[in-house]
Structure 1
Amino acid sequence: MASTDTVHLPGPQTQLAWRPITPEDLDDWHALIRRMVEVDKPGWAEDRADLEHALERPGNDPELDSLLGVDSGGVPRAFGLVNLNPDSVRAIGFGGVDPAWRRRGIGTAVYQWQAARARARVQERQGEDPVLRSYAESDNPSHLALLESTDARVVRYFTEMTRPLDGVLPAAELPDGMEFRTFSEDISERLRLAHNEAFLDHWGSEPRDRENWRFTVGHPQFRPDWSFVVTEKSSGDIAAYQLASYDPESPAIFGYSEGYTELLGVLRPWRGKGIAPAMLAEAMRRFAASGMENAGLGVDTENPSGALRIYEQLGYRPVSRQVVYDLPLDTEPS
């Protein structure tokens, strides 16, 4: 396997100068992503706070794990990132190219750099089937073609869904003995542990440590007033939860304002009791009371829990789909 010494930056054939991303690049980097969003219309786009967090993420080294390509005027035209959680061998690659600079081989160069960097990072870790995981919008043919041209394989599909709130909302209610409790700091740590337990059997999920959880509930788009847990009245135990957010740019991107369910989980002892539909109905009520036009969420299309069917029954409809690709890292690229 390659070592960190052999992970080279893309070459001059890209007509860009390459270097690591620094905090001083945040505004220009975010502007690059906004240019991409205007053309690609993805189901989700990074906020400036997400970019800042990516540079500060524990275990990552921006000098080695980030890449920025700038033109002769110093304007960022492409970027790449490789994230790797502690003890994991599943690296996550993020990146993109300015729409005005596409079809020049720059995306391929960024992906090759990501693969080399990911391979260097996992080589000293123990674990089966190390991969570089990438996410592509299903209606972005150039990104799909890039990934299809490699040894990466499709491993999953995720669907973004939305539901208008201008009609009659679902009347689903909690079972007897359960109640909603709006998010507050005093239950945040208990909720983190409950989330990790609920997602133990979810595909691709890894436990959230305190640092990542603080980022989740401290994000500028997080809405604590729309977020809540479901507790058992007799014991006070957390049975389920829903965390929600609002992107102020959603009207410009999608054409409507949207309250978004970021995380939805039901712990195993309470599954099959109708708690998930009741939580989504409560979320819709809170979204509508705040003037939102739609309720949105994302779903693992192949989730065996039947989540997709539940969402469809509640009136959610697909608006976009992401394709997940894994590139094996246990061999040198072909």
Structure 2
Amino acid sequence: MTELAIRPAVPGDAEEICRLLNAVDLIEIGREETDLAAVKDDLTHPEAALAENSWLAHRDGELVGYGLMWDDSGADRIDMDQYVLPDHQDAAERLFELMEPRALDRARANGADRAVIHLHLNTRPTVDPALLTRRGWNVVRTYHVMTRPLHPAGDVVPPPPHGLTLRDCREETDRIRARELLNETFAEHFDHQPRSYAQWKADLGGGIDWSRVWIATLAGEGDVAVMVTRNDREAHAWIANLGVVTRMRGRGIAGYLLRYAYAVYAALGREAIGLGVDTANASGAPRLYAAHGMTPYFAAHTWELTLPTP
């Protein structure tokens, strides 16, 4: 096997990276699910710093591995993505050898005494799980991507709970409020990292349509929920976030928002809608989604590695 050539990514690599990610998608879930726009958003994110935080592994001119690292916490938590073709496990190992020390450097620069690195992989990944365990990684969480078919005749806008109204976020003040509600409603969720308004907008990328980000207000209670949805995925519409403030949970608000999203995207001609959920979510979200017709599509593990800073 010929030697690997490894270099940082640049924005112009987006199409090649997208092809690799879709090749991995085909192996792991049976269909291509990565959109070029999402790859471009990653490579042009204001915090990307590709020269230090990205890696492309080529063999005989073919891209066989890709790694990307980012730091949302400003502390010890560092996140990474890694994708590799299954016949090139040496590329996966070499990427880990480069990425793990870089994560440690970032945590040290944040003043942390350790790096807690998270990596999200399909439960049947192209990366050999034995390689991960040999390097000290452990699975700490499991997520499901759930989907539901949409039907224009059956998915119509439901009547809201008494006193509940929705407004979209085309106004800047409402976008700021949406970010505040997300930080509040997801504060206790595993892996949630509070983000400033500017950081959050950068994370959303260029494909966000603010007319499909909604805030729910309940008479006498104020703003009680937020839902961020997207229509820029080719595979299906997407619910990126759905959060209800703690004191208002269990009153049918989340269920109403789900059905509202079903109706909106069915009317737009989308055939399916999806979302991701932590299977250990303490708020009971997996049961809620199942009760509203969503079924598991595929699952992913969060792998964790903790490294002490010297």
TM-score by length of 2: 0.88
* CA deviation after TM superposition for structure 1 residue 172, in Å: 6.2
- d(CA) in 1 for partners of 2:29, 2:158: 32
Percent identical residues:
27
Cα distance change of structure 1 residues 273 and 295 upon mapping to structure 2, 3 Å threshold: same
Show the counterpart of 2:237: 259
Equivalent AA in structure 2 for residue 109 of structure 1: R
The 8 Å contact of residues 179 and 232 in structure 1, kept in 2 or not, is answered as yes
**Aligned pairs (5 A) from 1:173-212:** 173-186=159-172, 187-212=174-199
Counterpart pick for 1:296 among 264, 270, 274:
274
Q: Are 1:146 and 2:124 matched, yes or no?
A: no
* CA deviation after TM superposition for structure 1 residue 28, in Å: 2.1
Gaps of 5+ in 2: none
- d(CA) in 1 for partners of 2:281, 2:113: 23
Gaps of 5+ in 1: 1-12, 251-257
Task: Name the SS of the counterpart of 1:214 in structure 2.
Answer: helix
Q: Are 1:285 and 2:273 matched, yes or no?
A: no
Show the counterpart of 1:4: none
Show the counterpart of 1:5: none
- d(CA) in 1 for partners of 2:180, 2:233: 29
Task: Name the SS of the counterpart of 1:279 in structure 2.
Answer: helix
The 8 Å contact of residues 48 and 70 in structure 2, kept in 1 or not, is answered as yes
Cα distance change of structure 1 residues 192 and 288 upon mapping to structure 2, 3 Å threshold: same
Between the two proteins, the alignment pairs up a number of residues equal to 308
- d(CA) in 1 for partners of 2:305, 2:140: 10
- d(CA) in 2 for partners of 1:287, 1:171: 10
Show the counterpart of 2:38: 50
Q: Are 1:136 and 2:112 matched, yes or no?
A: no
Q: Are 1:97 and 2:84 matched, yes or no?
A: yes
Cα distance change of structure 1 residues 179 and 51 upon mapping to structure 2, 3 Å threshold: same
- d(CA) in 1 for partners of 2:217, 2:280: 28
Q: Deviations over 1:260-279 (max 9, x none)?
A: 11111112232222110010
Counterpart pick for 2:301 among 294, 306, 323:
323
The 8 Å contact of residues 170 and 314 in structure 1, kept in 2 or not, is answered as no
RMSD: 2.7
Q: Are 1:306 and 2:309 matched, yes or no?
A: no
Q: Are 1:65 and 2:53 matched, yes or no?
A: yes
- d(CA) in 2 for partners of 1:82, 1:155: 19
Q: Deviations over 1:149-184 (max 9, x none)?
A: 321111111001112223844986533221111331
- Of 39-48 and 130-139, more deviation after overlay is shown by 39-48
Task: Name the SS of the counterpart of 2:308 in structure 1.
Answer: coil
Q: By percentage of residues, which structure has more strand?
A: 2
Cα distance change of structure 1 residues 205 and 321 upon mapping to structure 2, 3 Å threshold: same
- d(CA) in 1 for partners of 2:116, 2:25: 27
* CA deviation after TM superposition for structure 1 residue 203, in Å: 1.0
